């Protein structure tokens, strides 16, 4: 319980580049210690090679990516354009990252703690995926936890970490599988692990006024706040809107969407990217109900009015 | 028309790293000249930051990525695990690359020529996406084109290239859009361009025995060859199998699949990755017909028997 | 006095490259903290740019360079080919490094402690310059100091360090002097400092049997051990040999050599490089007495016999 | 003789960094082709590792280093603070570079041509060492040579180059000499070569009014011009001043200085560094005649008056 002695101290290190950063994270992680970095979009792109290696070698660490306007240099406005990249399409090969999506400053803190736990629970990279608005916002005080309120679980770290234990043989961490059947076997093992996580981790979304909802919105991060405002405004008008807010986008809360497809009339995705999350919504619904999308990109964020009007319109159209 | 004088010569340059390579490609491309690199999976991951920048700035060049077993270092077997990464999910932000998928050695040559043409036609990065089997195969002689058989079209390069023209004002290439509405406007412009390409470019697939097919396979690259064998074997048994072989995976041949959904009984995706292409198949079909998948990963490739048996089984099941 | 609390802990950091290493050392040093790296010849060459910057900005840190056979990759034998490079000719511009030259394992430890003291005393880079034999030797136990036996003096670090002190204005560390007269003024200041060090630091050599010596040898590092053997063997034969062993090669013990030029008959330099130290000997003697040299290079070290025979020959010749 | 066909064309390549630049130069040089780069002080420092490797492997190429105010970032004024670094003390181990020191713009052109010739004649790095004043000066038109006025001699390039010749066994270029006696043997070979160059290359200086000179100045680069003015002014006053202007500083024109030591009264070194060249003057004279020095550093250059007054003073003092 409480902070183990080793976590009483921490160190900030300035790395030489993003390529080096991700390899330093690998080094700390394989030693069974906790390390994280924070970056913003272009820096995250530079880490993709190392991410693919770490995913293969099951090395746990945490990356906070505060997404900004892009592609390219862009600006420091709020976007969600790194969604697919974060969940595991940024690097080569088939792998997944756990991706937590805080919706406010408090969650920026809480989800980072949770990210470390999940990273070590599953020997995965956990990405905290925020947007430029969250990255720059100031909110009322965040309740920092007392040291003994944080439970740090090292899980089975002793079984795999390259630690100082002299009473065991050498341990090797590698992503080199020259024999193709062994590489496939390892990939099958990884996919099994990913399926297990999809099954185990159920606290992946917040459900807001969905029980009788005709129009179910899906939005995360900064967009979820304005969407709630729009949902509330609709409810005041008697229009039954609701919201599924993913707290993780991998594993993605597909199951709740599939269940809601029975009762709701239509789905509305709100995101700051060109349908990147909407594709996961559509894959969940698979044509059973209409799915619509309002997307922004480049740092512009939806207004509550814009969403409100869309919901009202959809409610009439799909009545 | 023949080779313009400037293309009578070419240079090989050894770059200092993959991060530098992609930036050298940007430099050549913005000068209105043709450059390409070839790489394999991890090297491609290292180029993702530069790819995102170039996509935003509309700088044309060609990358040949011979996908290998992964994630991580993996092996040099045949996989297709970089599919999503290649089409535009590898770097940050919303963008697309044109992705050509040769099915044999002859096409490795022809599609590279075509890649340059499309790159300059649309000011895009064009990726030639091959797999380790194609990268290492030896086949009967490739018919190299005579110089005057290759038509090189520079399109409107004079309007944008940073060339030596002294009779014009300075030109700036940047992906920095500090004003968020201008960044969004640029993204909308890019998305319009992408839609135009999806509409314009129709020679994106080969249709093989699909006219009366009950089971339509979808496979590209090295997998398409073994799939054809399986289709032929099925046909000999009276089972009506067919194949859509994407020659590009972006733009993806969704339209033909949507049309076939009216007539066929089921779809079968064969790929060397964990459903990366299958997701695009499902998004095209959207639940109208069953879609199944055999995936391999890590360098192992399907056998014709494996596919044959699957088709036979599906044909019975969906009869 | 004992270790200040901040030195109760230390951290090892693996840098991304030698170019990065030297810049990390700069970062720690300018913060007023103690940092060192160890390297071997080619790595030292890669640090030369940063060394020149740090010398200009008066940033203190320590580098242990265990010289190996060169130039190029060479081997890990004992040489002294980085002598000039270490004293301040490796980087661009006019500067000096303090260079300590341990002669045995015990001094490897003691001189490193002293290097930190001198580095902070004068805001200089201090190089501990060892050779491959010292780097690989095993000797009887080194007497490690108890914590309270090491006196750590921070000198005037509060006056210049970029520390966390909130009660002062900002501090700037730069080597950019756009005005040429200010750059010259700074160089004159540095040269004054170097002269002060040459005057202040007198414990720069060990004198061995020199009082009545006819032939004075000069040798440092691993060579000094075999030279002592040769000197002893000469003395047994009644030949008055002696040894000046530099414990630092910058500042170089020129003064003792100039004094000995009155009484001795000739000087003999023994070094593992092509007269790099011999040039400093000659500049000290300036033709007043004969100066000879036996040089080895590439990892080969002198034998006592070789030196003995040379001394005997010189004693006869200059009698 | 004229330009061989291969030199009818040339290519500019932008390298990724200075560390990469020097390795690209190595690559071109070992192929037996001609390559050069230009840089300024800090960039030159970053190349020192590669220079040491190339010197060991006898790979010919040319570097133009336009020295600027230093150490560190400094300024772009005229200095000569990289003198020792350039002649072979910048990198680790014992080696030499040929160093040509143009005194005006015309020589910047001519000496670069000569540098290539010497580099290939001796399989050495040749450095053209200029200063910030030369680098920025504009002078009357430089007479560019017609193609057939430049005689390009490839010497014995066929015997060592890694060319495309299929009729020979493989060639290896390495600086790895694991056996220490072989490393020493190679160093002895290199030193022999350096001595041969010192003997062969006699066109290393310009002698100006030295025949009856009482005070012999030594100055190179931009300083030589103002020194000539001072010498002329002295002569008008009947004071017999002269100038030795090194056109190379390695090999250094020691022999002429040694000869002049018989007839002259004193030597005066003028340089833009802290006695870096003066040390070579002193090593040549070895106390036989007084040697004095006026040094500037940081971008400031001597005035003719300053030098004139010094010569007048010395002439009286050493009369």
Contacts of A11 in chain C (CB under 8 A): 11
Residue A15 is nearest to which of C11, C16, C19, comparing CB atoms?
C16
User: Average model confidence (pLDDT) for chain B?
Assistant: 94
D2, pLDDT greater than 50: no
The DSSP line for chain A is: ----GGGG-------SSHHHHHHHHHHHHHTT---EEEE-THHHHHTHHHHHHHHHHT--EEEEEEE-B-STTBBSSB--TTHHIIIIISSSSS---EEE--SSHHHHHHHHHHHHHHHHHHT-EEEEEEEHHHHH---SPP-PPPGGG-----TTHHHH---S-SSS-------B--SHHHHHHHHHHHHHHHHHHHHH----EEEES-TT-SEEEE--THHHHHHHHHHHHHHHTT--EEEEEESEEES--HHHHHHHHHH-SEEEEEESSSSHHHHHHHHHHTTSS-EEEEE--SB----HHHHHHHHHHHHHHT-
How far is the C-alpha of C86 from the C-alpha of C99, rounded, in Å?
7
Position B259 scores a pLDDT of 97
Question: A186 vs B298: CB contact, 8 Å cut-off?
Answer: yes
Please choose, from the candidates B268, B278, B273, the residue with its C-alpha nearest in 3D space to the C-alpha of residue B77: B273
Comparing alpha-carbon positions, the chain B residue that sits nearest to A54 is B72
* pLDDT tens digits along B4-18: 444 456 788 889 999
Position C148 scores a pLDDT of 79
User: Average model confidence (pLDDT) for chain D?
Assistant: 94
Comparing alpha-carbon positions, the chain D residue that sits nearest to B21 is D16
- In the structure, what pLDDT confidence band is assigned to residue A3 with cuts at 50, 70 and 90? very low
Spatial neighbors of A270 by CB under 8 A, at least 6 apart, are: A217, A218, A219, A223, A226, A227, A293, A294, A302, A307
Position B12 scores a pLDDT of 86
Q: Report phi then psi at A190, rounded to 5.
A: -60, -45
How close is the nearest chain B Cα to the Cα of A237, in Å?
A: 31
Position B174 scores a pLDDT of 96
User: Average model confidence (pLDDT) for chain A?
Assistant: 94
A169, pLDDT greater than 60: yes
Minimum mean pLDDT among B34-43, B131-140, C49-58: which range?
B131-140
Q: Are D261 and D289 in contact (CB under 8 A)?
A: yes
Give the pLDDT mean for A196-219.
97
* pLDDT tens digits along D26-47: 999 999 999 999 999 999 999 9
How close is the nearest chain A Cα to the Cα of B21, in Å?
A: 13
A4, pLDDT greater than 50: no
- In the structure, what pLDDT confidence band is assigned to residue B198 with cuts at 50, 70 and 90? very high
* pLDDT tens digits along C98-114: 999 999 999 999 999 99
Q: Bigger pLDDT: A9 or A153?
A: A153
Q: Are A307 and A230 in contact (CB under 8 A)?
A: yes
Spatial neighbors of B158 by CB under 8 A, at least 6 apart, are: B32, B165
Q: Are A128 and A110 in contact (CB under 8 A)?
A: no
A27, pLDDT greater than 60: yes
Q: How many CB atoms lie within 10 A of CB B148?
A: 9
Minimum mean pLDDT among A280-289, B284-293, C159-168, D56-65: which range?
C159-168
Most B-contacting residue of D5, D9, D10, D13 (CB-CB within 10 A), to test interface: D13
Position B18 scores a pLDDT of 97
Length of chain A: 319
Contacts of C14 in chain A (CB under 8 A): 24, 27
Give the number of C-D residue pairs with CB atoms closer than 8 Å: 242
Q: Can chain A be said to touch chain D, i.e. do they have 3 or more Cβ pairs within 8 angstroms?
A: no
Give the pLDDT mean for B30-48.
97
- In the structure, what pLDDT confidence band is assigned to residue C290 with cuts at 50, 70 and 90? very high
**Structure letter (DSSP) for residue C86:** I
Residue A27 is nearest to which of C14, C19, C27, comparing CB atoms?
C14
With b for 16 or more beta-carbon neighbours within 10 A and e for fewer, the A135-167 pattern comes to beeeeeeeeeeeeeeeebeeeeeeebbeeeeee
Position A22 scores a pLDDT of 98
A2, pLDDT greater than 70: no
How close is the nearest chain D Cα to the Cα of B39, in Å?
A: 18
How close is the nearest chain A Cα to the Cα of B289, in Å?
A: 11
Most B-contacting residue of D19, D20, D31, D33 (CB-CB within 10 A), to test interface: D20
- In the structure, what pLDDT confidence band is assigned to residue B3 with cuts at 50, 70 and 90? very low
């Amino acid at each position: 319980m409480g902070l183990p002695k080793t976590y009483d101290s921490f160190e900030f290190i300035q790395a030489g580049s993003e390529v080096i950063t991700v390899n330093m994270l690998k080094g700390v992680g394989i030693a069974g210690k906790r390390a994280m970095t924070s970056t913003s979009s272009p820096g995250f792109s530079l880490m993709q090679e190392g991410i693919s290696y770490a995913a293969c070698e099951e090395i746990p660490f945490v990356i906070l990516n505060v997404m900004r306007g892009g592609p390219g240099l862009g600006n420091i406005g709020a976007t969600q354009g790194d969604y697919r990249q974060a969940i595991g399409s940024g690097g080569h090969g088939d792998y997944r990252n756990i991706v937590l999506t805080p919706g406010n400053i408090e969650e920026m803190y809480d989800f980072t703690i949770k990210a470390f736990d999940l990273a070590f629970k599953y020997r995965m990279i956990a990405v905290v995926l925020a947007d430029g608005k969250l990255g720059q916002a100031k909110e009322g005080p965040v309740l920092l936890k007392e040291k003994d309120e944080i439970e740090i679980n090292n899980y089975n770290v002793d079984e795999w970490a390259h630690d100082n234990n002299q009473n065991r043989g050498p341990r090797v961490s590698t992503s080199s599988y020259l024999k193709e059947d062994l590489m496939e076997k390892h990939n099958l093992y990884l996919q099994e692990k990913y399926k297990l996580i999809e099954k185990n981790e159920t606290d992946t979304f917040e459900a807001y006024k969905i029980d009788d909802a005709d129009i179910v919105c899906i939005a995360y991060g900064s967009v979820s706040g304005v969407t709630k405002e729009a949902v509330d405004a609709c409810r005041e008008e008697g229009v039954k809107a609701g919201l599924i807010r993913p707290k993780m986008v991998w594993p993605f809360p597909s199951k709740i969407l599939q269940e809601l497809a029975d009762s709701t009339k239509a789905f509305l995705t709100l995101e700051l990217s060109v349908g990147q999350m909407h594709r996961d919504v559509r894959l969940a619904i698979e044509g059973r109900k209409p799915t619509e999308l309002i997307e922004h990109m480049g740092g512009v964020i939806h207004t509550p009015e814009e969403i409100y009007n869309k919901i009202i319109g959809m409610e009439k159209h799909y009545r």
